Amino acid sequence: MIGKKKEKNQEKQENVVEVNDNILNIISPPGIDFDKMQTSLGENVGRIYIISRYPDRNDYGWLAKLCNLEGTSTTVEFHYTDPDRLISIYDKRIGELKGNEGTLKNESDIARNKKAQEDLKKLVHRLAVEEEPVGYVTIILHVQAGTQKQLEDRIKRVSSKVAVQGCSIRLLKSRQQLGLKAIAPYGIPIEEVSRIGMRNMPISSFLGGFPMANPGLNDPDGYYLGKTTNNRLVILNMWLRGKDRINSNWAIFGPPGMGKSTTLKDLLLLEYAFFRTKIIIFDPEVEYVGVATHPDIKGDVIDCGGGEKGRINPLQARKTAVVRPEELEAGENMEDYLAFDTGTENTESDLALYLQQLKVFFRLYFGKENFSVGISALLEQCLIELYQKFGITWETDVSTVPNDKWPLPKDLRDYVIARRKKDEAGDLSNYRKDNYEKLEDMLFSMAEGADSKLWNGYTTLEAKADFVDLLVSSLLDAAENTKRAQFYNILSWAWTELSKDRSQKVIFAVDEGYTVIDPEYPDIMKYLRNYSKRLRKYEGALWFITHSVVDLLDPAVKRYGQAIIDNACYKFVMGCDGKNLEEAAKIFNLSEQEVNMLQEKNRSQGIFFAGNTRLRLKVDVSDEFLSMMGKAGGR
């Protein structure tokens, strides 16, 4: 019996539901009480404060931070006043500052005096010349909590956050009743309260500070990406087009440990889930295999460093972007898109345009010191004749030629040898013979030697799935010339995937972008720059992800690196310091508050740009997505 009674008591205890104070306060009239120091509303205790000091400068949306404080309701008042009165006060103050100039000796005091005069003169100009309305601002805060201990702790946190904004709070001692009336929804401004915290302010500074001036981002048909540091939602649709958002390109910067890989995986999964976007990712660190092979994704993982399914025959011509003179933007010319002169008659021939890329490929592979004018001319002659031998001419639509109908590198080397022997039967100069022999030697490795596994075979790389992970990790240890050439080969293949269907959304993400940056050979960066410009005419997007903006600023590649940054409508700069932070602050014109945020180096946080909109964003990854990401690249 005793045991049964205990069980019943336990059941009763388990069935007890905790009291919800919020609901209780709604359904039962709360009691209102106050004394000199605090208020009581129902079950909650609180204190009413007023902002008594403001910073000299206010950022756009500055009020958002004061209107979203923990457990605090905020009342903002603006009282219009005659600008002539303030102008008179400012004129008098400017005169005082000028009079003090002769007494100042320290450079710091002189600089502060000069700065104060400049700020006041700007205010006078706004009020007297531009006739901007002006008034007095009062901000009242009501901090509440369930218990006295919770209230004391909350006040400390609120006071600290207010101080970070350059403000101070002052308790309305002996005026809690008046403060309660002033903040009540049905209340009216109480002059005795307002006067304590009044601060004169032009109306543009006041309106620019409202919470709705910094609302986060709310794109139609978008997905939830995260929240701003003032808890505003960021709902993103990067395929939305507008005056300041003309493409879907991204540039993401974050040193190791800042959550860069997790952020990128989250973005890719969101794009795949919401828009069924096709994803192709250049993966040097094998970080995306877990995502690609997840049962809900069923993507392709392809080894492009010698795998049987990842071969790209460099001699198989692919369609390239056709650039016409009338499409050039201001300051551009055809040489920005063509590595070599094709002549005017072949600028739209598939084969002629691909020969441009092929010569870049061989220059990267042979090395620019070996790719002389004589070698280049001989190679081009042999390629054209070899293609003709395979029935491929200037007029051929290369997309109609099957993979196994294209010449291979061994075919090219054999043709060069046969052509040399034929020419030797006639009058072959030593210069020409020397070029033949050099070309034969340089083609040996890709035709029959160590690199033949990579290139001497028909193309097998095919993106059947909508999520394709291109593994290139094995190439990082390859010879520099082989790595450069294959990287370029992969980019050329990826462009075909991006551009073949203008109605399909496709993302090509280049992770660990520093691996493709070579100051000695800027051709790859130039090619990516062209990507970033041309993709706005397609439903394609280039995402460039690297550790630091410094990676893109080497003088040899800065022209192209800067263009990749500038052409990206979406940018995310994550926590950093040192030279990286210094350069980021210059390029993105970061404010002092933004610099401070990046210096804190909080994981998955940074400055997010969407066109002209800039937000301090914390990416919020769902548990479901985290479980799909695996451990590669960190979590």
Assess whether pLDDT exceeds 60 at residue 423. Answer: yes
User: What mean pLDDT do residues 98-117 have?
Assistant: 86
Are 555 and 522 in contact by the 8 Å Cβ rule? The answer is no
Domain co-membership, 465 together with 454: no
139 and 205, same domain (yes or no): yes
- Residues 334-363: what's their mean pLDDT? 69
Between the CA of residue 515 and those of 124, 488, 564, what are the distances in Å?
54, 12, 15
Q: Residue 208: give the domain boundaries.
A: 28-212
In 319-429, which residue ranges form alpha helices assigned H by DSSP?
Answer: 350-366, 373-389, 409-424
Same domain? 201 vs 66 = yes
* pLDDT surpassing 70 at residue 310: yes
Rounded Cα–Cα distance for residues 323 and 274 (Å): 32
What is the structure's pLDDT at 284? 95
> Alpha-carbon distance 238 to 51, whole Å?
39
* Structural domain count of the chain: 3
Q: Is there a single domain that holds both residue 196 and residue 47?
A: yes
The answer to whether position 597 is within a domain reads no
Q: What are phi and psi of 66, to 5 degrees?
A: -85, -15
Q: What is the pLDDT of residue 414?
A: 96
pLDDT band at 625 (very low <50, low <70, confident <90, very high): very high
The DSSP output letter for 465 is S
Mean pLDDT for 539-568 is: 92
DSSP 40-93: EETTEEEEEEEEEE--SS--TTHHHHHSS-TTEEEEEEEEEE-HHHHHHHHHHH
Alpha helices in 234-349 (DSSP H): 260-275, 289-292
Q: Are residues 78 and 178 both part of a single domain? A: yes
pLDDT of residue 344: 40
For position 385, which CATH number holds? 1.10.8.730
Q: Decide: 604 and 618 in contact? Cβ < 8 Å.
A: yes
- Asked, for residue 408, whether it belongs to a domain, the answer is yes
Which residue, of 431, 458, 485, is where some domain finishes? Answer: 458
Q: What is the pLDDT of residues 240-284, one digit of tens each?
A: 988 789 999 999 999 998 989 999 999 999 999 999 999 999 999
74 and 208 both lie in a single domain: yes
343 sits in the region (left: phi over 0; alpha: psi -120 to 50; else beta) called left
Residue/partner pairs of 29-35 with CB below 8 Å, 24 or more apart: 32/180, 34/176, 34/177, 34/180, 35/176
Phi, psi of 303 (to 5 degrees): -85, 110
Looking at the structure, tell me whether residues 152 and 165 fall in a common domain: yes
Lowest-pLDDT range of 19-33, 101-115, 347-361, 544-558: 19-33
Residue-level pLDDT at 588: 92
Torsion of the alpha carbons at 399, 363, 252 and 327, rounded to the nearest 10: -60
Does 357 lie in the same domain as 297? no
Of 458, 482, 504, which one is at a domain's C-terminal end?
A: 458
Structure tokens at 326: 């009338």
Q: Is residue 370 part of a domain?
A: yes
pLDDT for 231 equals 82
Q: What is the mean pLDDT of the chain?
A: 86
In a domain, residue 6? The reply is no
What's residue 123's pLDDT?
Answer: 82
Report the half-sphere exposure of 228 (CA within 13 A, side-chain side). Answer: 23
Confidence of residue 6 (pLDDT cuts 50, 70, 90): very low
Residue 527 lies in a domain: yes
Q: What is the CATH number of the domain that holds 297?
A: 3.40.50.300
- Asked, for residue 109, whether it belongs to a domain, the answer is yes
Whether 2 maps to a domain, the answer reads no
Same domain, 374 and 306: no
Question: Which residue would you say has higher pLDDT here, 300 or 126?
Answer: 300
Spatial contact of 48 and 197, defined as CB atoms under 8 Å apart: no
- Per DSSP, the residues of 410-437 read HHHHHHHHHHHHHHHTS---HHHHHHHH
Give the CA-trace dihedral at 586, 591, 595, 597, to 10 degrees: -150
The position carrying tokens 């309260």 is 193
Instruction: Assess whether 513 and 580 both reside in one domain.
Output: yes
Asked whether residue 163 falls in the same domain as residue 278, the answer is no
Q: Is residue 383 part of a domain?
A: yes
| Residue 345 confidence class, pLDDT cut points 50, 70, 90 | very low
pLDDT value for 230: 77
CA torsion sign for 221, 215, 179, 175 is positive
Give residue-wise pLDDT tens across range 195-232.
888 888 888 777 766 655 556 788 989 999 999 987 88
CB burial of residue 543 (10 Å; 0-12, 13-18, 19+)? buried
Q: What is the pTM of this model?
A: 0.68
**Considering 427, 458, 489, which residue would you say is the last residue of a domain?**
458
Instruction: Give the helix/strand (H/E) hosting 142.
Output: strand 134-145
Query: What is the DSSP code (8-state) at residue 170?
Result: E
Indicate whether 337 and 453 sit together in one domain: yes
Whole-angstrom Cα distance, residue 107 to residue 114?
A: 11
